[in-house]
Amino acid sequence: MSSVLFDVPGPKARARNRVLSVITVLVVLAIIAFILLRFAESGQFTAAKWRIFGFPLVQRTIISSIGATLGAFAAAAVGSLLFGILLAFGRLSDRAWISRPCYGITELLRAIPVLIMMMILYYGLPPLGMHGITPFTAVVVGLIAYNGSVLAEVFRAGIEALPSGQKEAGAAIGLSKGQVQRLILLPQAVRSMLPVIIAQLVVILKDTALGFIITYNEILFQANYFGSQAQYGSPVLPALMVAGVTYIVLCLLLSGFAKWLEWRLRRGPKAVKIAPRVMADA
Residues found near other proteins in the complex (CB under 8 A): 1-2, 4-7, 9, 13, 17, 20-22, 24-25, 28, 38-39, 41-42, 44, 107-108, 110-117, 119-120, 123-125, 127-128, 202, 206-210, 212-213, 220, 224, 227, 234, 236-237, 240, 243-244, 247-248, 251-252, 255, 277, 279, 281-282
Nearer to other proteins, 85 or 150 (CB): 150
Nearer to other proteins, 47 or 128 (CB): 128
What is the C-alpha separation between 196 and 179, in angstroms, rounded? 25
Least CB distance from residue 165 to other proteins, whole Å? 27
Nearer to other proteins, 92 or 242 (CB): 242
Neighbours of 260 (CB within 10 A): 10
Cα Rg, the chain, nearest whole Å: 24
Least CB distance from residue 27 to other proteins, whole Å? 8
Least CB distance from residue 268 to other proteins, whole Å? 26
Calculate the alpha carbon distances from 33 to 24, 29, 30, 40, 242 in Å. Answer: 14, 6, 5, 10, 20
Helix (H, G, I), strand (E, B) or coil at 167: helix
What is the C-alpha separation between 82 and 138, in angstroms, rounded? 18
Among 126, 151, 174, CA closest to 76 = 151
Element (H, E) at 168: helix 164-172
Nearer to other proteins, 33 or 108 (CB): 108
Per-residue burial over 4-21, b if 16 or more Cβ lie within 10 Å, else e, is eeeeeeeeeeeeeeeeee
Least CB distance from residue 259 to other proteins, whole Å? 13
Nearer to other proteins, 113 or 178 (CB): 113
Nearer to other proteins, 143 or 184 (CB): 143
Least CB distance from residue 28 to other proteins, whole Å? 5
Nearer to other proteins, 1 or 172 (CB): 1
Among 83, 87, 117, 120, CA closest to 104 = 87
Q: Contact at 8 Å (CB) between 69 and 208?
A: yes
**Pure H helices in 42-95:** 47-50, 56-92
What is the C-alpha separation between 217 and 214, in angstroms, rounded? 9
Least CB distance from residue 1 to other proteins, whole Å? 5
Least CB distance from residue 209 to other proteins, whole Å? 4
